[in-house]
Amino acid sequence: MEEENCLNEVVRPLTKKFEIIQWIILSILIFLVPMIIPQLLSALFGKTSWIAANSQYVVGAIVNTVLITTAINVKGFKQIAGLITLPSISAIASGLIFKSASIYTVYMIPAIWAGNYIFVYLYRKLFICKKVNYILSSIASIVAKAVIIYTCFRILALALNIPNPMLTALNLSMGINQVITASIAAIIGFGINKVYSKK
């Protein structure tokens, strides 16, 4: 019961109409970003540029920002679950971020969903429900997400024979990159929270 109540608490309550509009905008954003951003960066900076080759940083920061927005101002388990699952489906379906390693990331979908859920839930539980400081809430949520995803990846890496170049790339993607992109998102999310908090 307490968990259900926490999932319905937000920084700024919206009317039903604006709740739906907010959810639609966030859904479109979080689904399209993994498909569009890598191609956009390649077109703007060239396929061989550092930023195009490392588009996961940009995509991850945007996706995690949407997840933080979800944590602070989206009500209900179904709405939250939808936003948690969309980015990994989009990223793997498009194959633009993980490229040839996408086949291995399919096995990681449940772990990514679990990591995203814990990320969103801890933010909400600590920052919204328990009124814990934003920075401490961010650190706890980021660490929990990274630990879940990276631990599951290491178990998967032991179970599958992943070629070494892909193993190295995925090790980075499922490890430190999770911390980096979620930390960038936490900084952006701080500003978003201030906007929502204005009466």
Domain limits, the chain: 2-197
Q: What number is the average pLDDT over the span 102-116?
A: 80
Give pTM, 2 decimals: 0.88
Tokens of 181: 């992109």
- Nearest alpha-carbon partner for 174 in 154, 194, 160: 154
Is residue 74 very low, low, confident or very high in pLDDT (cuts 50, 70, 90)? very high
Q: Is the pLDDT of residue 164 over 50?
A: yes
What percent of the chain clears pLDDT 90, i.e. is strictly above it? 47
- Nearest alpha-carbon partner for 107 in 90, 87, 81, 88: 88
HEC readout, 36-92: HHHHHHHHHHCCCCHHHHCHHHHHHHHHHHHHHHHHHHCCCHHHHHHHHHHHHHHHH
Strand ranges (DSSP E) for the chain? none
For residue 120, the model assigns a pLDDT of 95
Count other C-beta atoms under 10 Å from residue 54's C-beta: 15
Cα 89 to Cα 108: distance, rounded to the nearest angstrom: 11
Q: Which pLDDT tens digit goes with each residue over 129-161? A: 999 999 999 999 999 999 999 998 888 888 877
Cα 166 to Cα 170: distance, rounded to the nearest angstrom: 6
Higher confidence at residue 185 or residue 172? 185
Tokens of 7: 């999932």
Q: What number is the average pLDDT over the span 51-62?
A: 88
- Nearest alpha-carbon partner for 63 in 101, 104, 16, 116: 116
| Three-class DSSP category at 104 | helix
Is residue 4 very low, low, confident or very high in pLDDT (cuts 50, 70, 90)? low
Q: What number is the average pLDDT over the span 47-67?
A: 90
Q: Is the pLDDT of residue 1 over 70?
A: no
Q: Is the pLDDT of residue 78 over 50?
A: yes
Residue 19 and residue 75 in contact, taking contact as beta carbons nearer than 8 Å:
yes
Q: What number is the average pLDDT over the span 107-113?
A: 85
- Radius of gyration, alpha carbons of the chain: 17
For residue 8, the model assigns a pLDDT of 80
How many Cα atoms within 13 Å fall on the side-chain side of residue 174?
31
User: What separation in angstroms does the CA of 159 have from each of 32, 146, 167, 168?
Assistant: 32, 20, 12, 16
What percent of the chain clears pLDDT 70, i.e. is strictly above it? 90
For residue 21, the model assigns a pLDDT of 95
Q: Is the pLDDT of residue 83 over 70?
A: yes
